[in-house]
Structure 1
Amino acid sequence: MTSRNSTATARTGSPVRAVARTQTLIKGTNGSGTVRRTTLPGGLRVVTETLPSVRSATFGIWANVGSRDETPALNGATHYLEHLLFKGTSRRSALDISAAIDAVGGEMNAFTAKEYTCYYARVLDTDLPLAIDVVCDMLTGSLIREEDVDVERGAILEEIAMTEDDPGDCVHDLFAHTMLGDTPLGRPVLGTVDTVNALNADRIRRFYKKHYDPTRLVVAAAGNVDHAKVVRQVRTAFEKAGLLTDHDAVPVGPRSGSRTLRAAGKIDMVSRKTEQAHVVLGMPGIARTDERRWTLAVLNTALGGGMSSRLFQEVREKRGLAYSVYSYTSSFADCGLFGVYAGCRPSQVPDVLKICRDELDRAAAEGLPDDEIARAVGQLKGSTVLGLEDTGALMNRIGKSELCWGDQMSVDDVLASIDAVTPDDVREVAREVLGRRPSLSVIGPLKDKQASRLHEAVA
């Protein structure tokens, strides 16, 4: 790792700009890009991955705020704010923001998660200065007017309704609540109809000022980008907004904590008139900072990560009991979830759950054979590399890594971490994670007799 300092030259009698610290974190090899980080006075971090061989660039700003930072009364505020930053600044109307990116054939969007929010634009490399200007303007100069809050409330309520109409999506929110209860991590990112209706411009502005401080932001750009030019333009934008005045400020570090999940044997059922029943059977997983995350990723891939996985073979291929069945992990700063999802006819739910529980118990007791683990390792390595084939994915990787881990890993390092997972590692994690008593979330039109059999799945 090499580092250097850079300062802007000042005219005689003009104040000297404070020093920005720049580091080269990864030197590009084997087709991967060079990753650099600059920490600006004011605590704002700028991370780039330079790939001269591509003709596109993706620019994003990550905020260290998500729905877990909300009080019960503010549930949904982070997502509401995400919408409002597109509604206009002192320089641009909502139409100006979207038209500027549309005019160059780019794409712009944002997403809110439980622990972070990201705003981004993907454009041709020649249009990167425009993307930087627009996204920085949105993040630093949003007006958050009462009339915009009122208009956008309707759109968010429709988004909540759309999610409610998709039980295959909604059941994952239910599972988070089953496992985490009425806590910030257990509540829905979108909020509820009641909490969204109760939010107003003043409350959202206070939330914005508290959480969108430069020390809590990470700027990320990937593609055919020049690190120094990106830093200069970002610095100028934030200085014009008066947001880099505290030269002693330091970036907020990654989240930490010690949350323990104890939702064993709990069942949550929501009765709905749907054609299918949607179920998630699961238990506590591991935090994203846990070094065993690579091992759990291999285990997850082997159990339910593809067409050759155990769950897909046993539930769909051999018995035809479900069209969609898979396992997944959700990792947070201080805890995690492991879940198995299946969508099937209501009459088949008990049989599907029994098969899934049997497979989890068998993996916990006996482990997985070496050939299954080797296949999962290969599948995970391939999907990891193929998932980084566009600049948007690269921007997501370096931005999230900086925000959540405070460090960067090269693709080679990631592949080496996956390769380092041994069969014994997988068996040990399987015993620990899958050996726990599961909980269950169900959405569908289950009859009383069917519902009474669900307890067998978590016994």
Structure 2
Amino acid sequence: MTEITVKTDVLENGLRLLGEPNPASKSASIGFFVKTGARDEDPQESGISHFLEHMMFKGTEKRSAMDITLELGTLGVQANAYTSEESTVFYGAVIPEYFQKFQELLSDMLRPALVQEEFDMEKKVILEEIALYQDRPHFYLFENALRDYYGGHPAGNSVLGTVESVSGITREMMVNYFKRRYLPSNIILCASGNFDWQRFKEDSQKLCGSWEKGQAGRDVTGFKPSSIQKVYYKEGLSRCHVLLMTAGPSVSDDERYAFTLLSVITGDSSGSRLYWQLIDSGIADGAGADNDEREGTGCFMLYASTGGENLDKVSEVLRKIAATPLEFSEDDLNRAKAKLISRIVKSGELPLGRLMALGNEWLYRQKKHSLKETIERIKAVSQRDIQAAVEKFGLNTWSEFRLLPEE
């Protein structure tokens, strides 16, 4: 059996190559992981990272937007992209015989022409998307709460931006942002599945070796939260929403394993503390917990949605659980480990899942991602480890945000 290993190299211009060849796979995946997102934007360009993500599909010097769409279809590529506060990722899965063609196409897409006509048309699409998401209570609450929780810190920047900020973005601003952030040293080109590593390296040099080198920085100033109580109101809501937030580990903190397991114990969709006390009891229709890791900072969150008559009761339950994070048994911890490991293994069975794990691991921690090592790290977490993690981060300065129907 051929041993599956993670390989890495760097082009002269700084572009990092990362790959996990697996000849037994029936497909292959490629992705560009760009270390730029909402947190890297100035206030006047809020939303530009996401806007630029869209423009990567709207034409290059060699291809029109229609050419890109048709070629993706011809190759049968399962392609997509996303923008977060931390990164922008362009990726796709393809059968091995089309791997080189997709690599060439995706590399070309990362050098967009930014045609003015396409720019103006896509801006309208982005503005419609902002309006769409503003109608979604869960998104509306989390976006506003993160902004107010981080209080001006870049980690709280909006991915979509506002109608005002996006309307004010010009093509020249986008060109300057691209030149500032889409530098080879700020990008990882990753591949996984059934592909030839040597050919991948050679093609990467041919396709991307001429990209102009440079350095892109990032503000990773730490953040110390204060306790905030805030209520938002919105027309047309039928439910009330409550969100508690406090400090949690960053992407580089070892305690992230303990906190991830704590989030499963506390707020998984079944069998968690929130499930039994809020969902099973019938006083809430939705509840969950999340460990949101970012570079240099992070937050731990508890959330629930309910009817107005149960709002204060639900908030009281959330605060009680927030105040007693260590009230769980060894069996609870073992169940959380089984759930988390099962999800990781299932995701890692396909090259696309491995692509995401490999790219993000290097993007945030500059390490080769090992599925085996990750599983062992999760298995090794003890109740004492979770207790130590909770003691380190305190979990005692909670902010509460509510979204209520406008009267």
- TM-score when normalising by structure 1: 0.85
**TM superposition shift of 1:347:** 2.3
**TM superposition shift of 1:387:** 2.0
Which residue of structure 2 lines up, in the alignment, with residue 440 of structure 1?
Answer: 400
The aligned amino acid for 1:422 is: S
The answer to whether the aligner puts 1:222 opposite 2:192 as a matched pair is yes
**TM superposition shift of 1:433:** 4.3
1:13-52 maps to which residues of 2 (within 5 A)? 33-52=4-23
Which whole-Å CA distance do the structure 1 matches of 2:261 and 2:179 have between them?
41
1:313-332 maps to which residues of 2 (within 5 A)? 313-317=276-280, 319-332=281-294
Which whole-Å CA distance do the structure 2 matches of 1:343 and 1:201 have between them?
41
**TM superposition shift of 1:300:** 1.0
The answer to whether the aligner puts 1:108 opposite 2:71 as a matched pair is no
SS in 2 for 1:143: coil
Question: CA offsets per residue over residues 261-291 of structure 1, 9 Å max, x none?
Answer: 3231432423332111222112111111011
**TM superposition shift of 1:322:** 1.9
The aligned amino acid for 1:429 is: A
Q: How many residues align?
A: 407
Instruction: Give identity over the alignment, percent.
Output: 26
Which whole-Å CA distance do the structure 2 matches of 1:219 and 1:196 have between them?
29
1:20-419 maps to which residues of 2 (within 5 A)? 33-140=4-111, 142-239=112-209, 242-243=210-211, 257-317=220-280, 319-364=281-326, 367-419=327-379
Whether the 8 Å CA contact 2:233–2:406 is kept in 1: the answer is no
Whether the 8 Å CA contact 1:62–1:217 is kept in 2: the answer is yes
Which whole-Å CA distance do the structure 2 matches of 1:378 and 1:28 have between them?
28
SS in 1 for 2:6: strand
Which whole-Å CA distance do the structure 1 matches of 2:118 and 2:150 have between them?
33
Gaps spanning 5+ residues in structure 2: where?
none
Which whole-Å CA distance do the structure 2 matches of 1:330 and 1:187 have between them?
14
**TM superposition shift of 1:431:** 4.2
Which whole-Å CA distance do the structure 2 matches of 1:100 and 1:220 have between them?
21
Whether the 8 Å CA contact 2:269–2:287 is kept in 1: the answer is no
Gaps spanning 5+ residues in structure 1: where?
1-26, 448-459
**TM superposition shift of 1:143:** 0.8
Structure possessing the higher radius of gyration over alpha carbons: 1
Which whole-Å CA distance do the structure 2 matches of 1:92 and 1:214 have between them?
22
- TM-score when normalising by structure 2: 0.95
Question: CA offsets per residue over residues 39-94 of structure 1, 9 Å max, x none?
Answer: 11111111111122221111111111111111100111111111111110111110
Which whole-Å CA distance do the structure 1 matches of 2:336 and 2:182 have between them?
40
**TM superposition shift of 1:175:** 2.1
The aligned amino acid for 1:358 is: K
Whether the 8 Å CA contact 2:293–2:299 is kept in 1: the answer is yes
Q: What is the Cα-based RMSD across aligned positions, in Å? A: 2.0
Task: Identify which range, 166-175 or 331-340, moves more after superposition.
Answer: 166-175
Whether the 8 Å CA contact 2:47–2:158 is kept in 1: the answer is yes
Question: CA offsets per residue over residues 387-437 of structure 1, 9 Å max, x none?
Answer: 222221111111111111111131110011111111111123234546313
Task: Identify which range, 385-394 or 329-338, moves more after superposition.
Answer: 385-394
